[in-house]
Amino acid sequence: MSAVNDSLVIARRNLIRMTRIPEMILFGVIQPVMFVVLFTYVFGGSMKIGNTTDPQVYKNFLMAGIFAQTVTFATAGAGAGIADDMHKGLIDRFRSLPMARGAVLTGRTVADLVQTAVTLLVLAIVALIVGWRPGSAEPTNFGKILGAFGLLLLLGYAFTWIGALIGLSVRTPEAATSGGLIWLFPVTFISIAFVDSSQMTPWLRHVADWNPFSATVQACRQLFGDPGLSQSSAWPMQHPVWASLIYSVLIIIVFRTLAVRKYRSATA
C-alpha cells in the first residue's frame, strides 16, 4: 500500500504539471484528430476493404487502427517526460526521499494513461462526427465498446513502459522523443490498422498478423462490430481479445522490470 500511495502522489504531481502546461494536452489531441481527418478523406475512396471501396466502409475499418495508433504514440511523451526529469535532476531528488523505487515510473505512466484516456475520448467524438458508426457490420453493445476502449488503454499503458525505458536510457528529452517514435512507425504501419493484411506479400502478412498492435486493432474491430475483420488463420487474428490481453500484460511485465532496474542503476 505504501508503494501504491507513493505512485499516486507522483501521478498527481504529473497531472498537475500537465494542467499547467495546456499546450501539452492540446498538441496531443490535435495530432490524432489530423490523422482521422486526413486518412478518412484522403484515402477513404481508394482503399479496398473486402470487395468494396466505399468510403463509409473504410471509415469504420480505419477507426480502430487510429485509436490504437493514438494510444501507442503516447510512448514518445512518456519517454521525453522521464528523460526531462532525469536531465533536470528531479529523479535524484525523488531518490533521496523515503519512497518506493518503482513509484516514480509507475506514477509517471499512470499520469500518461489519464492523458491518453482524455485524448481517446476527444478522438472518439471526432470519429463520430466524421461518420464512424460502431455496429455497422455486426451487432454490438455499450459493454463491448467500453471493453474495446479498455483494451486500447491497456495497450497504451504497456507501451508507456517501453517509453519509460527509452527515457531512462538516453541523455536528452529530444533523443527520447526520437527514440520513442522511430520504432513505432514500422510497428503501426506493418499491421492491419490501415490496410487489409491479405493484400500484403506473404512474409509481411505473417509479421502483420502476429504484431501485438494488430491483435488489439482486430479485437477492437470485433468488439465495435466494424467491417474488415482479418480472415487470417494466425492465432492472434482468430482470438484477438485474448491475444491483445496477453501481449499487453507481457509487455508491461517485461518492460516494467527492465525500466525499474534501469532506474535503480541510472540513479545509483
Q: What is the pTM of this model?
A: 0.89
Domain hosting residue 16, numbered range: 2-266
- Cβ–Cβ under 8 Å, residues 164 and 78: yes
pLDDT computed for residue 67 by the predictor? 93
The domain total for the chain is: 1
Closest CA to 228 of 263, 265, 199, 259: 199
* First-residue to last-residue Cα distance in the chain: 25
pLDDT computed for residue 223 by the predictor? 93
Q: Which residue has the higher pLDDT, 101 or 253?
A: 253
Buried b (16+ CB within 10 A) or exposed e, 110-124: bbbbebbeebbebbb
Q: What pLDDT digit, counting tens, does each position of 119-147 carry?
A: 899 899 988 888 888 887 778 889 999 99
pLDDT computed for residue 227 by the predictor? 64
pLDDT computed for residue 173 by the predictor? 80
Q: What pLDDT digit, counting tens, does each position of 51-73 carry?
A: 666 777 788 888 899 999 989 98
- Rounded CA-CA distance 69/185 in Å is 9
pLDDT computed for residue 45 by the predictor? 64
- Rounded CA-CA distance 35/69 in Å is 10
Amino acid symbol at 162: I
